[in-house]
Amino acid sequence: MSRLTFDASNHPHRRLNALTGEWVLVSPHRARRPWQGESAPAGDETAPSYEPSCYLCPGNQRANGAVNPHYRAPFLFANDFAALMPDTPAPPGDDELLVQTAARGEAHVLCFSPDHSRSLPQLSAPEVRAVVDAWKQISRELFEKYAFVQLFENKGAMMGCSSPHPHGQIWATDYWPTEIVKEDAQQAAWLARTGTPLLQSVIEREDATGERVVDSNARWLAIVPWWAAWPFETLLIARDPVSRIDQLDAEASDLLAEILRRLTARYDNLFATGFPYSMGWHQHPAGSASPEGWRLHAHFYPPLLRSATVRKFMVGFELLAEPQRDLTAEQAAQRLRDMSPELMEELR
């Protein structure tokens, strides 16, 4: 029997992701190892407000020949290279080993602003509120036809963003995606066992300790979740009992715009760069047996670990066994909390 006293900031341990039922290995001592791997170039912070070669800028021609209007607010259009289509034939489904099924849906692109150079933390509060309103509207419309609506943003080339013009995407599916199936089951089980929505329990615990809180206001809480796998992963949770984004009232929408600007500014300030990430909203899918167990939330998955040029790779053990991280959620939250929620002058 070991006589060592456990120290979460130094000793390897596993943490359970309550939203998915999966585990993550935490190895905080590894953050001290030397790095001789890839260093990606830092992002270009000097983009112009208008780029003639950009497919998403106002008035420009897209790859399929369509011409963008001279838009002055968030611009939504059907994805020219959509991963899903509303009308596709069902494939044969009579092989018990090589199983396949139909996948139908829609995909849309949402340009956040006509300005090619300005990401979310560089927009004004009213401009971000306009993005929130666009999310609400398209989500409401698509949930009338589909089982699930995924709102998301890939920011930065490091996260596979195909255009530097700040934008997000909306994919609607006639089925529940894998992550949603897991989250629905976990939240339903927690509600049945405790009588409280899972993420309400998370809010109460995080408010009480403050250890993993990054930012907060009257309607929203941003934390590095206990089970975070990516180095500076965050979870943004609605304090109100809402399960879809279109249920937000005017004040909650305003305060969402505020905390989005603050959270993404903290990210950019951390390594003085346009911080790459994939983020997306999870809302209750159509047909959920217990939608009251759901709480609207957004995941931010950023890859940067040590600097603007060194990222976390999900390879080896992470791909073949389970996710692993090199600093604790508490350490990551403290570093983000120490950042100003106002964007540094050189990044504006």
Q: In terms of residues, how long is the chain?
A: 348
Which domains are assigned to the chain? Answer: 75-173 (3.30.428.10), 178-347 (3.30.428.10)
- Cβ 178 vs Cβ 148: under 8 Å: no
Which tens digits make up the pLDDT trace of 246-293? 999 999 999 999 999 999 999 999 999 999 999 999 999 999 999 999
Query: Cα separation of 89 and 104, whole Å?
Result: 9
Which tens digits make up the pLDDT trace of 292-331? 999 999 999 999 998 898 888 899 999 999 999 999 999 9
> Per the residue annotation, which of 108, 167, 284, 297 is the catalytic one?
167
Active site residue 167: yes
Which tens digits make up the pLDDT trace of 188-246? 999 999 999 999 999 999 999 999 999 999 999 999 999 999 999 999 999 999 999 99
